[in-house]
Amino acid sequence: MRRRKFLEWAALSSFLGFSNKSWATSPSLGQEECKKWEKPLVISTWNHGMDANAAAWELLSKGGKALDAVEKGVMVTESDPTNRSVGIGGTPDRDGHVTLDACIMNEEGDCGSVAFLEDIENPIAVARMVMEKTPHVMLAGKGAQLFALQNGFERKDLLIPETKAAWEKWKKTSNYETPVNIENHDTIGMIALDQAGDFSGACTTSGLAYKMHGRVGDSPIIGASLFVDNEVGAACATGVGEMVIRIVGSHLIVELMRQGYSPEKACKKAIERIMAKHKSVEGQQVGFLAIDRKGRHGGYSIYNGFNYALRTPERNEMVETKYMKKW
């Protein structure tokens, strides 16, 4: 009986002209909806996403793969010394170390990540190498650094004079107490849909400013900061990583989209889940972004002020998300 149903579906798929492997598992998508896709498409967190999207667009607009686009896109932010929450120029932990977390995921469900990585400018490229050259998903600390150095990455001091001076100043008044969310902005999360109809995503950060030494946030955790399922879509996160990890936010959003929620509604549901599961979210920001198989995109945050950079064949702009609370 099951075999007959499968054969009927296969015949129908072929009649409708479905050729993409992932469409075969998405029978609710009709041909008309597929025609409406605005492809390629890339979105990324915060204003720094505009420059990152531009680099991703170089590849996407020429038919490049989403995986290459998201890697090259977020590398722009990692290498920007004026950005205080990603890569070089990132704010250090309370002991003066810049420690980086990053992860990447492709349309096949392959993924790689690095955590607590020091002295390497582009952790996202190391994460991709973990995915492609090792049997593992995550490398951390000294092991991740050794792997990077052995694979041609250069050692670089990521604590620049400006962030060193700010840290010295912070030490004088802080009593060594780590703040929870000093910036209200952090992390670049980027998700993309390429011309071939494949999703990929990347996420990279220097984490919370003046965090405890050894603290790792959501950004290297697949399912928390980032999740891609080519049958459904992709989601990514920014903000206080501890809250995102507790609800495995990005995976939750992809599963909600699988159940039929639009990207914005799925992101809103995840924010509601965070608020329901925490006694207080006072002063703590989290924002989510998502894209679904129809090419729809959206986001949601706890507080106002979260936005995302959008690039499509028609649009190149910042989009404000809806939110639960006002600062």
Q: Which one of 11-19, 76-84, 115-123, 235-243 is the stretch in contact with ligand GLY (CB under 6 A)?
A: 235-243
Cis peptide bond upstream of 40, omega within 30: yes
Contact flag: residue 91 with ligand GLY (CB under 6 A): no
User: Which of 159, 226, 240, 256 touches ligand GLY by CB under 6 A?
Assistant: 240
Between 89 and 217, name the residue whose CB sits nearer to ligand GLY: 217
User: Which of 239, 249, 287, 295 touches ligand GLY by CB under 6 A?
Assistant: 239
- Paired strand residues for 319: 308
Q: Which one of 63-71, 104-112, 217-225, 299-307 is the stretch in contact with ligand GLY (CB under 6 A)?
A: 217-225
Q: What are phi and psi of 123, to 5 degrees?
A: -60, -25
Give the residue from 176, 166, 174, 120 showing the smallest Cα distance to 143: 120
Q: Are 324 and 275 in contact (CB under 8 A)?
A: yes
Summary count for the chain: helices (H), strands (E): 10, 13
Contact flag: residue 219 with ligand GLY (CB under 6 A): yes
Q: What are phi and psi of 265, to 5 degrees?
A: -65, -35
- The bridge status of strand 226-229 relative to strand 199-205 is unpaired
Contact flag: residue 205 with ligand GLY (CB under 6 A): yes
DSSP result, 204-231 = EE--STTPPTT---STTSBTTTEEEETT
Q: Are 86 and 181 in contact (CB under 8 A)?
A: no
Q: How far is the CB of 250 from ligand GLY (least distance, A)?
A: 11
User: Which of 218, 229, 264, 292 touches ligand GLY by CB under 6 A?
Assistant: 218
User: Which residues are designated catalytic?
Assistant: 187
Q: Which one of 43-51, 73-81, 160-168, 203-211 is the stretch in contact with ligand GLY (CB under 6 A)?
A: 203-211
Q: How far is the CB of 76 from ligand GLY (least distance, A)?
A: 18
Site for ligand GLY in 115-154 (CB under 6 A): none
Distances from the Cα of 30 to the Cαs of 19, 98, 232, in angstroms? 13, 48, 14
User: Which of 124, 144, 208, 267 touches ligand GLY by CB under 6 A?
Assistant: 208
Contact flag: residue 207 with ligand GLY (CB under 6 A): yes
Q: How far is the CB of 219 from ligand GLY (least distance, A)?
A: 5
Contact residues for ligand GLY, defined by CB under 6 A: 186-187, 205, 207-208, 217-219, 238-241
